[in-house]
Every structure is written in structure tokens, then in C-alpha cells.
Amino acid sequence: MTTYQGYLSHLTHQPHAPVSYTLEIGEHKIPLNEMIGTEIRLSFLHEMACGTCGRKVKKLYGGGYCYPCVTTLAETDLCIVKPHECHFDKGTCRDEEFAQTHCMIPHYVYLALSSGIKVGLTRKNRELTRWVDQGAIKAIPIAELPTRKMAGELEMAIAEHIADKTDWRKMLKGVVEDVDLFEMRAKIKQLVPEQFQQYLFDVEELYEFTYPILETLEKIKSIGFDKAPLISGKLLGIKGQYLILDCGVLNIKKHTGYKVEVQFQKADELTA
């Protein structure tokens, strides 16, 4: 049996075929693909720490932030989830230096297939990470805009016609109606407002992703440490930011900052 202890971080990954995942627990970096099929036991040690400042807290917000950080950092402002509401030009940005390096730079608007067709945006050169985090199986960028706000405005215009959210249950079930993203791009072009037409472009490469999944669940049940401090089961696969266990699915990103003990036990160890 192999045991690790520390504070959880979100899953990191490389876009191989299938996607290669790493679980980070404190200073430990655990290659997860090779653990699929093993028994995993995750114990919440009833400690939490902010992933940014390290403050020990009783409650975390927004995927691993303490209250002071979530209410003061630019990366946790409302405009991060609603880019079209960027207020930098009003002089009220929480951190102008952050804005210059994260918001006032080129962004892609894209089409992706995860639980169904969706539109989204991401910083240029971060698109592969974004697509895998969302559990996309196919994706293409369709526009490049100079700022996050402009990308958000275009996303909102396209979202009047197609979804801008992922249904995580459908995504994890993997039952997705196939959509030709190039055909959808052609249709979207006809609907995009005139002021954004100059930013549209045609990419011929279709990005496709497969995930390390041994077995899918018929019924998707969310599990977490707030209700069950001990989670134990067989690791069946990984998709997006979720561990798929035979007892349910665990969103690792949601539990960033939780101190845990994680144990892996292979089948031959169980019978030894």
C-alpha cells in the first residue's frame, strides 16, 4: 500500500492519448493513469489551507481560497467568470498588474464538445489545459481577440444560439451526440455581430482528446469530503477534474486546499 499526505491541488495533465494526469498532494506528484484499477482511499484530515496565501481556515471559497483572498484578489473577481463585465476601464480593477498579464492579452473564443456543443473562451496558449479541464473530446478555436473583455462579449453573442456551460453529469457519462465543429463554425459565422467578424479565423486542425477510463458509471453520483470525510473505492478513470470511482465521482479542483491522506492499494496487495 502506498500512502501520501498533504494539501490537495487541482489535477494537472498533459494532452497525450489518453490524457496523462498527475495528482498533486503537498510536495507529492502522483502519476494517476497507472493507478487506474487500484483501490483508492482518501481521508480528509479536517484541515484546510488557502491555496494562495496558505492561511489555515475552516472554510474555503471558489476552489481553494480563503475569504480575504476571494474578496480581494483580481483572479477571484466576478469578471473572471463573467469576462464581458470587466471593469478595468473604470479604474476599479483589483490588481492592474494581474489584468495586464491575464486579461489585456489575446484570448481565443472556441467551440468544444464535452456534454454537448458549447462556446467558451480562454487565454491564448492555454486552450489545451482549458479543454481537458472541461472534459472536452473535440475542440477548435474560432476567433482571436485582443482582450478578455472582448472575447467575453463575443462569447455572450454566440451563447444566444448555443450553450456556454458544460453538463458535468453528461460529460462524465460520455454519451455525447457527435457534432461537426467545422460545420457549426460556418453557421456561427453568419450569426456573429459585424464588429467581431474581423477576429474570426479558420483553423483546419481538429483537437481531439481521449481520457483514461476503465469503466463508466451508469449513474453519476457526486461525492465529497464535506459529507463523507472518508472516501474509498476502485479508481475507474479520470476525466476533466474528476476522479471516477465505483462509488461516485470526486471533483478534485473543488477540494483544493483540503488536507488529505491518500492510499493506493493494488489488487495483488489485497489478495496477499
Model confidence pLDDT, tens digit, residues 14-68:
999 999 999 999 999 999 999 999 999 999 999 999 999 999 999 999 989 999 9
Amino acid at 138: K
DSSP-derived secondary structure letter, 197 = G
For residue 152, report the phi and psi dihedrals to the nearest 5 degrees: -65, -35
Distance between first and last Cα of the chain = 11
Amino acid at 199: Y
- The verdict on 62 and 169 lying in the same domain is no
- The verdict on 132 and 241 lying in the same domain is no
Percent of the chain whose pLDDT exceeds 70: 98
Alpha carbon distance 93, 8 (integer Å): 29
For residue 120, report the phi and psi dihedrals to the nearest 5 degrees: -155, 180
Pairing, β 258-265 against β 230-239? unpaired
Question: What digits encode the pLDDT tens for the residues 159-198?
Answer: 999 999 999 999 999 988 899 999 999 999 999 999 999 9
pTM greater than 0.75 (yes/no):
yes
pLDDT at residue number 270: 52
Domain boundary among 180, 208, 236: 208
Query: Does the pLDDT of residue 271 top 50, yes or no?
Result: no
- The verdict on 85 and 201 lying in the same domain is yes
> Is the separation of the CB atoms in 70 and 64 below 8 Å?
no
pLDDT at residue number 177: 87
- The verdict on 41 and 56 lying in the same domain is yes
| Structural domains of the chain, count | 2
- The verdict on 181 and 59 lying in the same domain is no
CA dihedral 145, 146, 149, 151 (to 10 degrees): 10
Query: Does the pLDDT of residue 272 top 50, yes or no?
Result: no
SS3 271: helix
Query: Does the pLDDT of residue 218 top 80, yes or no?
Result: yes
What's the angle, vertex CA 105, arms to CA 103 and CA 110, rounded to 5?
85
- The verdict on 240 and 158 lying in the same domain is no
Confidence of residue 1 (pLDDT cuts 50, 70, 90): confident
Q: Which of 162, 185, 164, 174 is nearest to 209 (CA)?
A: 174
CA dihedral 66, 68, 74, 75 (to 10 degrees): 0
29: containing domain: 2-69+213-271
- The verdict on 18 and 119 lying in the same domain is no
- The verdict on 56 and 163 lying in the same domain is no
Mean pLDDT, the chain, whole residue set: 95
Q: Which of 89, 147, 65, 5 is nearest to 77 (CA)?
A: 65
Query: Does the pLDDT of residue 266 top 80, yes or no?
Result: no
- The verdict on 195 and 253 lying in the same domain is no
- The verdict on 65 and 98 lying in the same domain is no
> Is the separation of the CB atoms in 114 and 171 below 8 Å?
yes
Q: Which of 150, 158, 144 is nearest to 88 (CA)?
A: 150
- The verdict on 14 and 129 lying in the same domain is no
Residue with cell 467558451: 120
pLDDT at residue number 56: 98
Q: In whole angstroms, how far apart are CA 240 and each of 122, 151, 163, 171? A: 16, 23, 18, 9
- The verdict on 139 and 190 lying in the same domain is yes
